[in-house]
Amino acid sequence: MSVFMDLNLGRTADRTRLQVLIETAAHLGFSTVAIDHMFEPSAKSRQEIPSPTPVSDLMDQLPVVQGRSRPIRVLNRLTIVTSDAGHFRPTASEYRRFDLLAVQPTTEKLFHAACMTYDVDIICVPVTEKLPFFFKRAPVNGAVDRGLVFEVSYAAAIRDATMRRYTIANANALVETCKGKNVILSSAANKPLELRGPYDIANLGLLFGLSDGDAKAAVSSTCRSVVLHAETRKTALGIIYTVRSCSDPPCQQEAPPAADCDTPLAKRAKLTPT
């Protein structure tokens, strides 16, 4: 049975509405959701990055996912809307308080930087307006090679007919460029009526140009890869693998059998009768 995820639930100050939103997601069969904290830096005034929502205080008992015996998993996500190169601070300690880190570039130059250099998990594709740039294969393929994913949200398409056209057009342009690889579909829902079930979202992915397999992966396995990528980004920067050779001092002290350290040529010389 697939594990379905919605990695973009709109954050609201109304705790009761947020609880109902999470309960609805669990009832629809989502095993993991992420509360999105949108942050748009301003050049005029210095703004503080919002604090993540304390999940332990959100509700006394998390609802159980439909069809499963486990409660839903709730993550915190930070989305940074960048319109200037200085809006994303790679060394900001506030980023580490969130489980997922996303960026929404608004220019072609920042989109290229996000794909090639930014240490994030998700690159958001704006769907409420016409994109001011075209997707190019070089940065998109670079992001795919780095393990980043592109996100398309569908709630805006439910709210307004104009946004629906922009959503379909932008999603098709992205899918055509990345060949359906590393794409996730999320809701960005602000209320329960904007949520849809996992299989309905997969069918919507077909409208966005995804294949049947990629559409199902966009709400399941690809989302799981995002969560694993975020855990790796926060816990490890690299792995060193060492192999002890026979010329190392410890190997000489252990005094292994001569045959283990001899070369094949030396072995043949010993076996040759005198």
Given the DSSP bridges, would you call strands 73-82 and 4-10 parallel, antiparallel or unpaired? unpaired
What per-residue confidence (pLDDT) applies to 41? 81
Weakest-pLDDT range from 15-19, 85-89, 109-113, 170-174: 85-89
Tell me if residue 193 falls in helix, strand or coil.
helix
What per-residue confidence (pLDDT) applies to 266? 43
Which of the pair, 268 or 2, is modelled with greater confidence?
Answer: 2
What per-residue confidence (pLDDT) applies to 45? 53
pTM: 0.81
pLDDT in tens, 187-204: 999 999 999 999 999 999
What per-residue confidence (pLDDT) applies to 198? 95
Q: What are the structural domains of the chain?
A: 4-235 (3.20.20.140)
What per-residue confidence (pLDDT) applies to 151? 96
Give 96's DSSP letter.
G
Q: What value does the mean pLDDT take over residues 158-162? A: 89
What per-residue confidence (pLDDT) applies to 12? 85
The C-alpha atoms of residue 182 and residue 122 are separated, in whole angstroms, by 10
pLDDT in tens, 164-176: 999 999 999 999 9
pLDDT in tens, 21-68: 999 999 999 999 999 999 988 755 567 788 888 887 777 788 999 988
Contact 184, 219 (CB under 8 A): yes
Strand partners, 82: 105
The C-alpha atoms of residue 142 and residue 121 are separated, in whole angstroms, by 14
What per-residue confidence (pLDDT) applies to 110? 93
Q: What value does the mean pLDDT take over residues 122-150? A: 92
Contact 82, 118 (CB under 8 A): no
